[in-house]
Structure 1
């Protein structure tokens, strides 16, 4: 089961007579590399451009022309040169002097402005005795508003901000090797800030440290004090009080009450007024669009959608003319708190608990396991422009049950010409107060921004190494070089550079808990992934590489599904290459797989149709050399013009005669046909692409096999725990540890619920899952399993 991957750590000293470099050849690809340099030619691949369809003006105006000429800066590298002073004492106090010199704009207490805002005043007047506008406002109502406002925010304290920046700078230097920021991306943000509209940063959420790292980075770059929308579930009351003085924002619990409760109406009015005042004063705001790490459930955060909905509503109400949205992402070699034990509930982090966690992190990571961090800022775009243009791209949508269930059960073969509707994020109180159309706008805007954030994220060396170890590649040196170049060629950046052997040493030292290093002859090392939790951790890291190869992986699995009924799954590559694959069949198979895979994994832009994505997938397969175009069977080759004769209708006509078209006498062209390429490198690359999606597909297949074993009816959390235990038991028997992930279990249950396999019924203590009538029989369950297994390449 454990195949070996070898990496040579120790290089012998080169003699002065022989200055030739060692050639490292990638197996099957003939690529000669000694150093991994993240450059293609002279320029880095620029990532993070905004959507040209939805925001064409922003795409053109908010792009920094000289971005390619700018390099990186290490944000936590503070020396004597970063201060105005010089000398022996300054070199020892440079962190403290640097924190004193940071520009912190004055943040005045805006409680009176919020109290006098139109929305809050209307609610207060309506709650006063005698009706709206009659009599004085009761003092207890004003105290209630002050209490809600105190729960949301507090005026930032400049002295506390400087002290915290100094302490955080020392902590980050102990924890990380570097925190890199691309100067060109920062130039775009500064240019957008000069337009006069407030900046709203929308970020992914990889670590609890993101909430303090991003404000520190942006404050050091002159953006100002960032107001961060925190999740109240992750912080204790003491920690919330501290974070509010550092610029934190918290949604009051009353805001999630039903729309007809007076407490909920007043809390939402205060939250609206707070956000409006922040945007009007042009204070930058940070919202996390993903759930905190360790939380089971959908990728999109319901709390993040609520805050983004408040911003959208402020722009639509005309409180501010526009807001500029900046997609943000933070990538780590390894997440510092990387326990990743999602089986445990997310406990609130207290102040003393946080300090102890910091000390443990410093002791655990130390100098031997310090990681690198990259902060990514994608191109800003106008919210007003998006709201105007995005609605024109919305088409009709159907549920997964309407699209896929008849095909799974064999009742029809044609895929409907419509998009899939799949919403997994619950609607909270602030978002529920919006119109249905605005709720849809906020959701699709969130997918748009999250797609841009993931596309701009750099692939770290640990993700590449984990992928090679997980998929059992034989030569780490050559394959690491090849995979790095392939990632760059697909327009994704990488977060490392330097000598290849040094990179492998650093990466394997970080992955040491998940791999076994066995020394063999002449300094060689045998690298073997540890079974169990080690393989699970490698699978999570390798998932960060999937966005770069997602189109090709979807196409490869679709081709595997198309060939599943024609040639044996274990048949030789030459036999599979004989089969002709029509473009129509490929489109149909890709669409089926797109409908099956969850939206959280695909992250498709809402303005992009599935059929356009099918064409993109097909183009990618052709570009990477896996598919070769063939002529239509039995037709005359397109390049053979020797026997063609022009009819009389195609002779020259009088100028201006457009009575018929020149193409009227040609028969409608049939679909194109393709074969699998027979190049020597293609079988391994095809298998590599299929294995990128194998954890998800195998988890879904095991979930289908578990339908007749699980105890139903049961609650969603109870059935998820049953399925997760089954995945763990199967992993012990078959070695599929990469599938034993609780998030994959949740994703499979929700996909089956959308597909109509599971039905949610009301129960005495809450919703309960039942097996639907359509999949009650073993035959239907077996059809579902076969439908999923056709895309899996063993």
Structure 2
């Protein structure tokens, strides 16, 4: 199966003689397919453009329209044509010859250049606090600098890089069906590399394999050895030594010490010198902005922001004039099993442990046909210098969630303050604290901006679509698959698959076979249903990858549900179509309330986008997809009527050159717009589908509010998370709602309640402990909180 969808997948059920539609599923997946119609005639959407608001010059200069036509390549498909030689022996040694062909730039004299850098020399001469002039001998400081430098990096060994690339090729071909890369995106990156500024790739983090796969891909495309910023907590000393020889970087633990610590000052100075030397030499650098999937914590990585802070500092002090940032993402049909387990282990991954995991992965994949498809996404590069200049103009006033939402939850007020939400869950580490407060804010917002771009650039895989349909629309599984694929493409997102529908579904179900059951309901018909318990939980995690595509519409649908919650008749919400008028101001208010409730890590709003512009975007999406229809208010004049009697008399005649009044001063204040629910037949199902996309998170929040009456507080954060997760499991067994049984949803609920003022973190001799605030100690306020959350849930 190729990972490109160059045509629209469309099937139409055929009618049987008795008037009923024949089932598309049949024994052995034999099915009748209609002709395939190309999607939008010819092209698929090209994703990955940089922000036109923050980086307009980069948006114009680093993109050409011909790039979108270059197509895809499979980077692990190495044949005789990929070498300079031909022949029978070459075909059997093409992996080895290919590894010898890779260009590895020399890296000589790097430690000496770092020792000669201005920052390190100031420490050695004692011209800054914490250096040799603070009571330490220069030789001792020099030895300490060399020790820290050895912990951070080592010169890449060309022999090891070639050997590792040669050994990695057969492993990737055993595990992956293909690893696709858009040649147009690669051409953009090559063009940016030729501009002279160093490349800094900022990536999401799906699995440990990302840090191995991305350097391999970029080395095979001629970008040289990629320096990867690894997390030292997940690697043993032996594995760290190997990764350093392959181009890895590790932040020393001393860098996270307090600002007044001489050890922390020295470590941060050496790391800054290392980054400056890398950028000056033009070597590409890879930083993971997202925490690994097994980590219970914030989505944004504190370590990634620390490395990015060093890059921002190097540009600001003028070591390099500019750096080009490239948002990167890697998507998989299914995240490979073996590398994922390391994040759940109690000890770091060792060299032999990793080798055994690779062998187990090879054995498992050789014994079955579960080969995974993968896609590497490289978004349009943009200038860090340009972003730094333009982004500061977007900073406005912000308030905490407690100030914004708590009075409305308790019924003390109804107006939503006209300000943005301040919510930062990622802890600030020592390297980031060493920057000015304004630069800290710049790094955090840049991280949000790039992570949002990486997620928007990621392709949706077939397993995410299948999991979503099984959870929310499984009664029309096959007929809805091609519809949902087309809806994804229409919203400007890409998909990571192609091929005939029958083969595609066979491949997808083979990857999900541990979590679904195939039931033969009658002769020739099969029913695909998710397995209860952990199977539903796994499908919910996969379906979350589809949420960024429909997030605006899902927020709008849940907001409409909250607006009409008190007027819903027994027959259902859609019985109000054509009856109830929804004002634009009321819709804005409900959207804002839900936006403030949802975690920032989920919304991933770009810092240059205000909440009210997002409200307008949500409303526009609801109108575009047909759920809402604009209506004129009864007795009002049409919106396009600009008749003379709507102007004041003083504006009818004015002397030329009189600019004392604005032309808009005499107009009557425009009346608010009104909307009705659409009367199209497909709208109720689509509305329910959108609401259910957000239901796992909202149900977890609602159950967390109900748990306030049973939870044992005070307790540590980890202890209370365990209590809440056990409560979610027990509730799922009773009600069959397994979609919200996820530790990440539990910790998100606890952190949101802490920001909302429901829970308070108080110091204690044994460490910080969570307490129930006095405001929400009463049962009445707890019920108000639960009712506020449940208004957005559509059952």
CA contact (8 A) 2:342 2:348 kept: no
Q: Is 1:537 matched with 2:538?
A: yes
Residue equivalent to 1:17: none
Q: Is 1:275 matched with 2:279?
A: no
Q: Deviations over 1:566-612 (max 9, x none)?
A: 22475251235421100000000000000000000000001100000
**Whole-angstrom CA distance in 2 between matches of 1:396 and 1:417:** 9
Matches within 5 A, 1:387-426: 387-426=388-427
Q: Is 1:347 matched with 2:347?
A: yes
Residue equivalent to 2:763: 762
How far is the alpha carbon of 1:364 from its aligned partner?
Answer: 2.2
Q: Note closer, same or farther for the CA distance 1:686–1:332 as it changes in structure 2 (3 Å cut).
A: same
Residue equivalent to 2:705: 704
Q: Deviations over 1:244-271 (max 9, x none)?
A: 0000000011111111111111111111
Residue equivalent to 2:747: 746
Residue equivalent to 1:301: 301
CA contact (8 A) 1:574 1:678 kept: no
CA contact (8 A) 1:234 1:346 kept: no
**Whole-angstrom CA distance in 2 between matches of 1:364 and 1:684:** 40
Q: Note closer, same or farther for the CA distance 1:140–1:371 as it changes in structure 2 (3 Å cut).
A: same
Residue equivalent to 1:629: 630
Residue equivalent to 2:88: 88
Q: Deviations over 1:482-517 (max 9, x none)?
A: 000000000000001111111111100100000011
Residue equivalent to 2:13: none
Residue equivalent to 1:559: 560
Structure 2 residue runs without a partner (length 5+): 1-22
Q: Note closer, same or farther for the CA distance 1:198–1:626 as it changes in structure 2 (3 Å cut).
A: same
Residue equivalent to 2:429: 428
Matches within 5 A, 1:54-93: 54-93=54-93
CA contact (8 A) 2:132 2:141 kept: no
CA contact (8 A) 1:208 1:293 kept: no
CA contact (8 A) 1:625 1:677 kept: yes
Where 2:326 maps in the other structure, the secondary structure is strand
**Whole-angstrom CA distance in 2 between matches of 1:65 and 1:679:** 37
**Whole-angstrom CA distance in 1 between matches of 2:37 and 2:634:** 45
CA contact (8 A) 2:464 2:542 kept: yes
**Whole-angstrom CA distance in 1 between matches of 2:723 and 2:37:** 45
Q: Please, which moves more after superposition, 427-436 or 199-208? A: 427-436
CA contact (8 A) 1:36 1:497 kept: no
CA contact (8 A) 1:563 1:576 kept: no
Matches within 5 A, 1:199-238: 199-238=199-238
Residue equivalent to 2:493: 492
Q: Deviations over 1:289-311 (max 9, x none)?
A: 01122010000001001000000
Q: Note closer, same or farther for the CA distance 1:630–1:463 as it changes in structure 2 (3 Å cut).
A: same
Residue equivalent to 1:550: 551
Matches within 5 A, 1:40-59: 40-59=40-59
How far is the alpha carbon of 1:638 from its aligned partner?
Answer: 4.0
Residue equivalent to 1:356: 356
Q: Note closer, same or farther for the CA distance 1:674–1:91 as it changes in structure 2 (3 Å cut).
A: same
Matches within 5 A, 1:127-276: 138-276=138-276
**Whole-angstrom CA distance in 2 between matches of 1:130 and 1:634:** 76
How far is the alpha carbon of 1:113 from its aligned partner?
Answer: 1.4
Q: Note closer, same or farther for the CA distance 1:778–1:267 as it changes in structure 2 (3 Å cut).
A: same
How far is the alpha carbon of 1:116 from its aligned partner?
Answer: 1.7
Residue equivalent to 1:28: none
**Whole-angstrom CA distance in 1 between matches of 2:355 and 2:372:** 20
CA contact (8 A) 2:402 2:757 kept: yes
Q: Is 1:793 matched with 2:789?
A: no
Q: Note closer, same or farther for the CA distance 1:493–1:338 as it changes in structure 2 (3 Å cut).
A: farther
How far is the alpha carbon of 1:692 from its aligned partner?
Answer: 0.3
How far is the alpha carbon of 1:66 from its aligned partner?
Answer: 1.0
Matches within 5 A, 1:611-650: 611-638=612-639
Where 1:202 maps in the other structure, the secondary structure is strand
CA contact (8 A) 1:7 1:475 kept: no
Where 1:455 maps in the other structure, the secondary structure is helix
CA contact (8 A) 1:125 1:137 kept: no
Residue equivalent to 1:29: none
**Whole-angstrom CA distance in 2 between matches of 1:217 and 1:645:** 64
Q: Note closer, same or farther for the CA distance 1:129–1:250 as it changes in structure 2 (3 Å cut).
A: closer
Q: Note closer, same or farther for the CA distance 1:657–1:10 as it changes in structure 2 (3 Å cut).
A: farther
- Normalising to structure 2: TM-score of the pair? 0.93
**Larger RCO (alpha carbons 8 Å, 6+ apart):** 1
Residue equivalent to 1:322: 322
Q: Note closer, same or farther for the CA distance 1:267–1:342 as it changes in structure 2 (3 Å cut).
A: closer
Where 2:592 maps in the other structure, the secondary structure is helix
CA contact (8 A) 2:728 2:740 kept: yes
Where 2:480 maps in the other structure, the secondary structure is helix
Q: Note closer, same or farther for the CA distance 1:294–1:641 as it changes in structure 2 (3 Å cut).
A: closer
CA contact (8 A) 1:6 1:474 kept: no
How far is the alpha carbon of 1:521 from its aligned partner?
Answer: 3.7
How far is the alpha carbon of 1:272 from its aligned partner?
Answer: 0.7
CA contact (8 A) 2:377 2:458 kept: yes
Matches within 5 A, 1:112-127: 112-126=112-126
- Normalising to structure 1: TM-score of the pair? 0.94
Q: Note closer, same or farther for the CA distance 1:642–1:218 as it changes in structure 2 (3 Å cut).
A: closer
**Whole-angstrom CA distance in 1 between matches of 2:372 and 2:765:** 49
**Whole-angstrom CA distance in 2 between matches of 1:263 and 1:174:** 46
CA contact (8 A) 2:433 2:440 kept: yes
Q: Please, which moves more after superposition, 662-671 or 196-205? A: 662-671
Structure 1 residue runs without a partner (length 5+): 14-20, 24-33
Residue equivalent to 1:684: 685
Q: Is 1:516 matched with 2:523?
A: no
Residue equivalent to 2:8: none
How far is the alpha carbon of 1:347 from its aligned partner?
Answer: 3.5
How far is the alpha carbon of 1:417 from its aligned partner?
Answer: 0.3
**Whole-angstrom CA distance in 2 between matches of 1:749 and 1:342:** 26
Residue equivalent to 1:30: none
Residue equivalent to 2:287: 287
CA contact (8 A) 1:36 1:499 kept: no
**Whole-angstrom CA distance in 1 between matches of 2:710 and 2:650:** 69
The RMSD of aligned alpha carbons is 2.3
**Whole-angstrom CA distance in 1 between matches of 2:582 and 2:448:** 33
CA contact (8 A) 2:125 2:138 kept: no
**Whole-angstrom CA distance in 1 between matches of 2:570 and 2:321:** 59
Where 1:607 maps in the other structure, the secondary structure is coil
CA contact (8 A) 2:560 2:590 kept: yes
